[in-house]
Structure 1
């Protein structure tokens, strides 16, 4: 498998266009409405007492450690238990984001390896019985992102669930590999499992039911959820799964996400990531300030995190093989039916790939560029077939046509393939977010990657302005998602019926406000030409 190689400028472009929705600028958060006075709230966890706060209708506990700081001797090791503390520990402020380069979720970047923390939000009112728990894994390409970006009072209080948002190791800290290094390429995935185990031990302290946990995520978070579906070491840690804009089958063709990018997937064999780690470490030995005859792993564990984060983009793919965490590629595991038998809610945004159009000549594409783009993607022999399936005249511009082609090939049909595989064994509810005027939508991009997130969360502590029809769609989506978390069935009063997918083509709900057609059933396989891509 060829490595995922793109320039840093392109990565920053991806962050700016596709991942900004998960963070948002501090001035917007500052401009958010002032919170009413908070009331203290104390719970007992397995490591000690925690003091959170009750604000309005929600109880919030921020910055809870779920594993020991993975620093120095614990760098690139499986997450270790938290040390108990005496007295009452404040859980009132968010932790640092895990190490990552500068991006909107971590302005200026982060080198804080003491970052394995989670946040818990619950309704303030006590329940007669334990509530369902939703564990949210954030996206960010496996090299950026933080659970801290997702303020969860809306889904917790409206949906009557406990919401847990998680930080996990990213980039070189989460997915580095080296010969003899146990767990090479899986530390971020292991962190997610450590958080899920923390939930199993501590859910009841927050009024949650450890037997009714839903693991959910978007983008790399959705891919992580699918990885957990196929991981033997996540057995018993969750009862349902939500995959938004990310699946085990996700992959890309040559030059389809970025010019010059080779075909690949998120998953890489462990021996490949170890070879990459060996080559990288040898090339950086002087920068790492290794001592003469010092063992490389000792040098690496002593290295300044600021030096490591400079090359974090070399390690953005979870590893499989040679480890109990992901013994085989998640894509192959799903195809073979080797996944946990839990209900699944899965979907995409209608125009996912629009967020990447600026990578192609700044989004300035002419009609003459279309055949070249297709040829660079699938070769001359198949380019004509793609052009017949997606005629330029039908879309009105090369940008619109190229968006449709790459959305379908990279995002929609890979998600549909996983839905088909999962539906052979478990209930699957498929969807497509289709609001072309989300408050995060850029002009002309429609329902691009990640623009559904403010319909489920307050992002960066900020509630984006919405029209009345959009507010209603947000309420319906939260109701669907949290009903699924509670019962495994998203249906309930006040919203259109959502049928599980059957055999053959994948039919699901198109989620749009009423002034854009409303919520209705669509054939996702046909809409996104999936039979064509299967046969190409």
Structure 2
């Protein structure tokens, strides 16, 4: 099992999970005007017409920046031009360019810098509502804000939810010598969206002075990057980080992270060569003429933001370790079995994990022979437990322990609430029968907060109660910077709250359960 084969397999596993989890349930079409009269709101750029549903309103496909076409490809986001008349906001706009995955058939439309607003229905509130800005995951390669139907969070929590598209893949994170914004265009888009929210969300009943930036996986790591970005100062007031540990490492190919600008420039040079621009007199002009589909075919499976850049001067891991981040309260956590989905996918792709193959599997992810031997001793594989052991190594090394470290570093400076999602019977995100029970793998908490693809997953009554409780925690945190309330179990800051159906309890055992002392000594 070579590292190239591993990364290719990882990308296939990720896109398979996203494709089935988000698109298997088709989006609910907008209600017809006869049953739900459209709602018109004025923002600075013009009028937008959304849709009134039962208890909430949606405004989809609102541009927050100009289309990054032509000379604006690989340029910082520019302000969109005002429009005359009423702009239709009754359905999502195109997702940003991406291969097939979360978005069926992928996308090649670069006019994608749009966002979606979900707001509770009714008269304008006496007090503006808290705002949650959601950044989607997808490995910085796939995903769309419109995949996250936020009406349950908006109506139950009394908040305005904004979901955002941002540039992905090579179009979002290309680095090239002489190109301002190298490696951070997607992060710059997120900041542009936050500036839009500060300026416009009041028209939708939102409180522009109470904005929570939230995300999962690559979206969670994006929140980490914005915490560390000087350019994001003053753009948000709280942060939620789900399964995107700020202290992840680029030498481990599962958790999202950032790479030095020099590394990203090497990848950019490789991309230019693959599409025939390597020896062009003006490589950037050449790249801007390349068809989107050709760029997508040539880009690497692994996409990451760049640090050592103006937008991200330091690696977020180093910045947070040094205490150099925006002082806002943070809610952060991971899932109990983060690695099991990847382990199952890799096994199903023809890479069995047995006592005989286990040394080779570990060596594919950890180049140091000494590290590999230590991992094999700490996580022995017996005859029938290879899959769960492999999943534990992935989850512990890349998510659980880095999340614990991140939480501790943040808590030295700001209020931090930590959770672990632990529903061992969470609804599966992929069809078929996995090679072993997956428990609570990566992304399995999302159906408790959102209707992915526009339709809810099948939850038991106990799981519905957990979903309601999680929404209560998340939205109370957005409202007051404290998730606690009279209707939910107490969430002490000094503990990790384990979230399972009818079993929500604080615990101090998560680091021991995930072998974090071992991973700390391993480095």
TM-score scaled by length of structure 1? 0.90
- Structure 1 pair 150–71 and aligned structure 2 pair: CA distance change class (3 A): same
Name the residue aligned to 2:480: 487
Q: Is 1:22–1:145's contact at 8 Å kept on the other side of the alignment?
A: no
Name the residue aligned to 2:468: 475
Q: Is 2:174–2:268's contact at 8 Å kept on the other side of the alignment?
A: yes
Name the residue aligned to 2:51: 53
Which stretch shifts more, 66-75 or 82-91? 82-91
Q: Is 2:271–2:299's contact at 8 Å kept on the other side of the alignment?
A: no
- Structure 1 pair 6–111 and aligned structure 2 pair: CA distance change class (3 A): farther
2:272 equivalent among 277, 281, 293: 281
1:415 equivalent among 389, 395, 403: 403
Name the residue aligned to 1:312: 299
- Alignment partners' CA distance in 1, 2:384 and 2:318: 38
- Structure 1 pair 35–462 and aligned structure 2 pair: CA distance change class (3 A): farther
- Structure 1 pair 368–64 and aligned structure 2 pair: CA distance change class (3 A): same
Q: Aligned runs of 1:208-227 on 2, under 5 Å?
A: 208-227=206-225
Query: C-alpha offsets along residues 334-357 of structure 1, whole Å, 9 cap, x if unaligned?
Result: 111110000000011110111111
- Structure 1 pair 265–347 and aligned structure 2 pair: CA distance change class (3 A): closer
- Alignment partners' CA distance in 1, 2:8 and 2:91: 32
Matched, 1:434 2:432: no
Name the residue aligned to 2:447: 454
- Alignment partners' CA distance in 1, 2:506 and 2:351: 32
Name the residue aligned to 1:116: 113
2:86 equivalent among 68, 88, 101: 88
RMSD: 2.5
- Alignment partners' CA distance in 1, 2:133 and 2:19: 21
Q: Aligned runs of 1:27-426 on 2, under 5 Å?
A: 28-29=26-27, 37-103=35-101, 105-125=102-122, 126-251=124-249, 257=254, 266-285=257-276, 295-313=282-300, 316-321=303-308, 323-357=309-343, 358-360=345-347, 362=350, 364-378=352-366, 379-392=368-381, 397-426=385-414
SS in 2 for 1:140: coil
SS in 2 for 1:23: helix
1:305, distance to aligned residue in structure 2 (A): 1.3
Q: Is 2:131–2:161's contact at 8 Å kept on the other side of the alignment?
A: yes
- Alignment partners' CA distance in 2, 1:147 and 1:22: 14
1:31, distance to aligned residue in structure 2 (A): 10
Query: C-alpha offsets along residues 369-424 of structure 1, whole Å, 9 cap, x if unaligned?
Result: 2344345544443445434433446x961111121122111111111111111000
- Structure 1 pair 247–10 and aligned structure 2 pair: CA distance change class (3 A): closer
Aligned length: 511
Q: Is 1:152–1:458's contact at 8 Å kept on the other side of the alignment?
A: yes
Structure 2 gaps of 5+ residues are: none
Q: Is 2:496–2:510's contact at 8 Å kept on the other side of the alignment?
A: yes
- Structure 1 pair 396–34 and aligned structure 2 pair: CA distance change class (3 A): farther
- Alignment partners' CA distance in 1, 2:50 and 2:29: 23
- Alignment partners' CA distance in 1, 2:505 and 2:132: 24
- Structure 1 pair 265–196 and aligned structure 2 pair: CA distance change class (3 A): closer
- Alignment partners' CA distance in 2, 1:473 and 1:169: 33
- Structure 1 pair 371–8 and aligned structure 2 pair: CA distance change class (3 A): closer
Name the residue aligned to 1:504: none
Matched, 1:509 2:497: yes
